[in-house]
Amino acid sequence: MTDEQQTSPSAAKSMTVNPWIVAAAALIIYGLALNHWVTLRGLPWIASVTGWDWHPIPTEWRPSYFAPLWYVTTLPFRVLPVTWQPCALNLFSAVCASLTLMLLAQSVRLLPHDRTREQRQREPGEFSLFSGKWAFVPQVFAVVMLGLQGVFWENAVTASNEMLDVLVFAFIIYCLLRFRISQNEKWLAGMALVYGLGTTNNFALVGFFPFFLIALIWIKGLSFFNVRFMLRMIGFGLLGLLLYLLIPLRASLASQNFGLSLWQELKQESFLLRIVPGWIPLVASLSTIAPLLCAGFKWPEIEGELSAVGNAVTRLTFMAMNVLFLPVCLLMFFDWRFSTNPHVHDAPVPFLTFYYLAALAVGYYSGYILIVFGKRSLQRAKFKESPAVKKTVLAYLVILTVGAPALLLGSNWDRIRSSNNGILSHFTEETIAALPAQTTVVMSDDPIRLQLLEAGYARAGKTNPHILLETGAMPYREYYAHLVDKYPELKKKMAPIDKFPEVLPQTNMVDFVFQLGRDYAIYYLHPSFGYYFEQFYLRPHRLVYELKSYTGRSSLAPLPSAAEIADNQEYWKKTAQTTLASLSHYSDSDWDVGRVSVDYSVALDFWGVELQRANKLPEAHAAFAEAYKVNTNNLMAEYNMEYNERLQHGDSRPLGQSDTLARAISLYRSVPAIIKYNGPPDEPDVDMIFGQTLAQGGNLRQAAGLFERRLQLLPNDIPAKMAVAKTLVDTGQADRALELTRQVRAQTNMVPDELFWVEAVAYLSRTNFGEAERSLLQGQAASPKNPVRLANVMEFYRRTGLAALAQGRRDDGAARLHKALQWSEKFIQLVSEDKSAATRFPLADVLMIKADIEVNSENDAAAVQTLTRVIELDPDNENALLNRALVLMRQKKFAAAQDDAEAMRKVDPERAFMAYGVEADIAKSEQNVANQKKYLGLYLKATPADSEQHRVAKKELDKIEGH
């Protein structure tokens, strides 16, 4: 029996659920289903305790959740052996879930049932608690619905910070309801303290604050506005919020800036509040907050205000609304298409708080039905009650009480049954088996993969022999300090850490990996692309990929050897009969298996491409087919399979406008995402598309590899030859590029526009200015009205003129810039007269190029006129405003330059730092120290603290202030 039952006479004979029995039963159930190891969702939280996360303190460049309450509550687990910690943390979540359900049972019991006239007629007790032999039904109903909800269950059986958050949320609500009964303000003090603590861990409590404040004022009434009470509540809340300082204090002990860490913590909380799409909490509120708000309002009597018929209609309508709220609340627990469930698996957070509110509402409205339709009124009824209606509504409640949990259990049964299926652990074991036994460098773009590797070795009771590198952290100095601390043998590969810049250039990182490759084999845990792969290529070895250096000039990776093909084929044959065969049974119900399926599918697609390049077409088809079978969202595998079928018939032509490619682009949105979740392409058109995307990102060798592969498949393809030639020029291979342009000239009379530019740049790289100039002028003369060729001539003279000036050859530079200016006039005339040319080359853009030439020719007056014309055409052209301001400064026309800077701020407030920089320079030129300090201060606030611009401005400001 509860305290409230002893206080309320009407509840003395009530049959209610003992909360500790609820907790014990839940703990037994969750304990039986407890995850025995790690899950991908829970791994980051486990890694923060075990030490597998090299840097659990978030930084601006490596964001992770600030969770100080999680850190404090999991401190005792850090003393356990690391092999025990994952299971212990999973058990901790199960305990939190059990206590949450216990608090839910208690909170449902404490809900007041005096909100409507019908309830007040049937529950006249002092606290209006549901009494009688059926009082346990709402408690059980609410607990079962929440306990069996899929997302709640998943977080209950594996380590989860979110389960700790919902326990805090449940305790806050319980304190509020207990205060309503006891009027003991210790419950409110506890609520304020825990609310402060919880807010530091759960950003959602910031959003819920207005609702809790309204509820508190509603319960306490005018006594809420007592100054001493409000100060006491604020004090306890602030005491809880002091936990915000814990992570910054830890950061300061790790030589990070305390204030910056605190600012990042608060900024992240603000970001998380904004990142959640507004429709998600809005839709979730329809079946949670809205019904509870209706239940919280004490509705007045309506008799006497309307006619008898009107009274009856209003009364029945109001009762029907309360009855129908129950199925609305139940919808929250299901993932039906038209459910009000916000599809939390697609949201950044699981929203367990909304599920808890829905369960609370289920408890209230099921109690409402049992009271209003299951109890006799203690007052003389003004309206005749229909026994048939009462029985019908009660039958409706029985159906929902039995059917909803049964349906929920059925819909989530596959999730429950598939837990502990062992596929993730088996995937990890296979990954470890694919790596060499001796010390190896293992790289990954995803820190969770590295943490999973650590967990795999810990589970096997082995020491991880490998050097793990998180590629996303490698640009940063503090990561190298960690590496030297963890792997002392790396110290000889590095300069002293204090000599490192805060952010390393790409060349340094690539060189570091290259130096490691002299002593260790290097493996990647997944396919990737980027600056490392300009120097290295991937060689698939079962589930992992050896990183090897290019040795020749070709951008295509060498073909796998016969031994490598045999080894990989044997592995995939065995895996297809064992692991892959079971994936389809679990991938829909187990999120981890779904992720593992993607990894297997990507690896199979990658291997299929290697086999296809080696002309093993039937074997490649089998790999693509298996990749698509394992993950039917791998549309690149499907596309490669379609092209493979064409190749097997001796036809290497592109597939053309394939629906599969269109679906892949629509689903994954970008080339990097397609490669990450599908694997590489091996079809001529897709090779060209992906190669162009990689080239735009500066990944020239990788782009060239795709272009060369297209050329292998289509030996006479002119676009492929030109694409390869352009990348060869960009990578300094002028002779090979010129050979390809000669092939194109011999192959067709329709010479592509870009051929002349490629030739010119190739000749320039051989210091043959005359041949470069001749090629471009020849191309322009052959088609005088061709805007591309005209633009190339202008750009050629501009670039070479600037290069000559930079080398100190002023006469050459001035002469070439003069020619560039002449050609710019012709270009302007062309785009002014030719609409099709103007569509491709807007006049404002051409004028900007002319202004750049004039600025570098030191013709400031002409540059101002040209830039003014640009601004007349495009008043919001921020670049034109910036350049005109700089030229005006050089002319010492500071007032006009200031006007342009202010206009820049209005055009793009989010990039106001550019205007502040100009204004600081103006103030410096005017020797106005006060204004210079002012604008430098504004510039520093608007730029990232770790950027080079920020550091330069800070140094300038310190110099002014005499620091």
Q: Are 204 and 165 in contact (CB under 8 A)?
A: yes
The SS3 call for residue 930 is helix
Contact 759, 738 (CB under 8 A): yes
Bridge partners of residue 443, in order along the sequence: 469, 524
Structure tokens at 170: 């449940």
Alpha-carbon span 371 to 463, nearest angstrom: 63
Query: Taken in order 277, 278, 279, 285, is the CA torsion positive or negative?
Result: positive
Local structure of residue 503 (DSSP, 8 states): B
Question: Which pLDDT value is given to residue 237?
Answer: 95
What pLDDT, on a 0 to 100 scale, did the predictor assign at position 277? 64
Give the model's confidence band at 412: pLDDT under 50 very low, under 70 low, under 90 confident, else very high: confident
Question: Is residue 655 predicted with pLDDT exceeding 80?
Answer: yes
Dihedral, 524, 527, 533, 538 alpha carbons, nearest 10: 70
Residue that the structure tokens 């459910």 belong to: 339
pLDDT score of 862: 95
Distance CA 376, CA 287 (A): 29
CA distance linking residue 788 with residue 771, whole number of Å:
19
d(CA 594, CA 587): 4
pLDDT band at 465 (very low <50, low <70, confident <90, very high): very high
Q: 597, 630 in Cβ contact below 8 A?
A: yes
Closest CA relative to residue 636, chosen from 595, 613, 592, 670:
670
pLDDT digits (tens, 9 = 90+) for 97-127: 999 999 999 999 999 988 888 888 888 777 8
- Pick the more confident residue, 910 or 527: 527
Three-state SS at 523: strand
- Both tokens of 349, joined, read 């957070």
- Produce one character per residue of 519-546: b if its CB has 16 or more CB atoms within 10 Å, e if not: ebbbbbbbbbbbbbbbbbbbbbbbbbbb
Rounded distance between C-alpha atoms, residue 161 and residue 153, angstroms: 14
Question: 724, 852, 861: which is closest to 799 by C-alpha?
Answer: 852
Q: Quick one: average pLDDT of 732-749?
A: 93
pLDDT at residue 348, as a whole number: 46
Task: Quote the crossing angle between the two packed helices 387-418 and 308-330, to the nearest 10°.
Answer: 10
| Long-range contacts of residues 240-244, Cβ cutoff 8 Å, at least 24 apart | 240/192, 240/193, 240/194, 240/195, 240/196, 240/197, 240/198, 240/199, 240/200, 241/196, 241/197, 241/199, 241/200, 242/196, 243/68, 243/69, 243/72, 243/196, 243/197, 243/200, 243/201, 244/68, 244/200
> Per residue in 70-103, pLDDT tens?
999 999 999 999 999 999 999 999 999 999 999 9
Range 479-487 average pLDDT: 92
Q: How does pLDDT run across 818-847, given as a tens digit for each residue?
A: 999 999 999 999 999 999 999 999 999 999
Letter string b/e over residues 572-590, b meaning 16 or more CB atoms within 10 A of that residue's CB? beebbeebbeebeebbebb
At residue 379, the pLDDT reads 65
pLDDT at residue 637 above 80?
A: yes
Angle of helix 753-765 relative to helix 718-730, nearest 10 degrees?
Answer: 30
Nearest to 137, CA basis, from 392, 371, 406 = 371
Q: How does DSSP classify residue 492?
A: G
Please give the residue that has the higher pLDDT: either 278 or 17.
17
Structure tokens at 431: 């990954």
Residue 439 has pLDDT above 60, yes or no: yes
pLDDT level of residue 630 (50, 70, 90 thresholds): very high
pLDDT tens figures, 304-357: 455 666 666 667 777 888 899 999 999 889 876 555 554 444 444 557 899 999
pLDDT digits (tens, 9 = 90+) for 3-45: 444 444 444 467 889 999 999 999 999 999 999 999 999 999 9
Question: CB 627: neighbour CB atoms within 10 A?
Answer: 28
Q: What is the pLDDT of residues 205-264, one digit of tens each?
A: 988 999 999 999 988 888 999 999 999 999 999 999 999 888 888 777 766 677 777 777
Q: What pLDDT score does 279 carry? A: 64
User: Using CA atoms, how far apart are residues 961 and 963, in angstroms rounded to an integer?
Assistant: 6
Long-range contacts of 937-941 (CB under 8 A, 24+ apart): 938/912, 938/913, 939/913
pLDDT score at 589: 81
pTM for the model stands at: 0.83
Residue-level pLDDT at 47: 94
Asked whether 832 and 839 are in contact (CB, 8 A), the reply is no
The mean of the pLDDT values for the chain is 89
- The listed range with the strongest mean pLDDT (182-191, 380-389, 953-962) is 182-191
Pairwise CA distance, residues 761 & 795, whole Å: 11
What would you report as the CA-atom Rg of the chain, rounded to the nearest whole angstrom? 35
* Mean pLDDT value across residues 704-716: 95
* Token pair listed for 869: 């014309």
As a whole number of angstroms, the distance between CA 526 and CA 445 comes to 8
For the chain, percent of residues with pLDDT exceeding 90: 64
Provide the pLDDT for residue 610.
97
Q: Are 713 and 719 in contact (CB under 8 A)?
A: no
pLDDT of 345 reads 40
Q: 159-179 pLDDT, tens per residue?
A: 999 999 999 999 999 999 999
Q: Taking residues 663-680, what's their average pLDDT?
A: 87
Of 59-63, 340-344, 736-740, 776-780, the poorest mean pLDDT is in 340-344
Q: Which residues pair with 503 in a beta bridge?
A: 476
Q: What angle do CA 548, 549, 550 make, to 5 degrees?
A: 120
Predicted pLDDT of residue 376: 80
- Residue in this structure with the two tokens 């895996």, named with its chain if needed: 575
* Of the listed ranges 291-305, 472-486, 593-607, the one predicted with least confidence: 291-305
Q: What is the pLDDT of residue 722?
A: 95
Ranges 189-193, 349-353, 671-675, most confident: 189-193
Dihedral sign (CA 582, 584, 587, 592) = positive
Is the separation of the CB atoms in 451 and 53 below 8 Å? yes
- pLDDT for 383: 55
pLDDT at position 909 over 70: yes
Residues 6 or more apart whose Cβ sits within 8 Å of residue 625: 641
d(CA 845, CA 794): 13
pLDDT bracket for residue 295 (50, 70, 90): confident
Take residue 32 and report the two structure tokens written for it.
């039986």
Distance CA 927, CA 921 (A): 10
CA atoms of 48 and 159, how far apart (whole Å): 11
Helix (H) or strand (E) holding 549: strand 544-549
Residue 5 has a pLDDT of 41
pLDDT for the residue numbered 307: 60
How many Å apart are CA 233 and CA 78, to the nearest integer?
A: 34
3-state SS, one letter per residue, for 818-856: HHHHHHHHHHHHHHHHCHHHHHHCCHHHHHHHHHHHHHH
Query: Residue 50: is its pLDDT beyond 70?
Result: yes
The mean pLDDT of 849-854, rounded to a whole number, is: 95
**Structure confidence at residue 312 (pLDDT):** 67
Please give the pLDDT value at position 4.
40
Confidence class for position 480, pLDDT limits 50, 70, 90: very high
Model pLDDT, residue 35: 93
**The pLDDT value given to residue 118:** 81
Burial of 774 (0-12, 13-18, 19+ CB in 10 A): middle
Sheet containing strand 544-549, edge to edge, reads 467-470, 441-444, 522-524, 544-549, 536-541
Would you state the pLDDT for residue 337?
A: 52
- Asked if residue 2 has pLDDT above 50, the reply is no
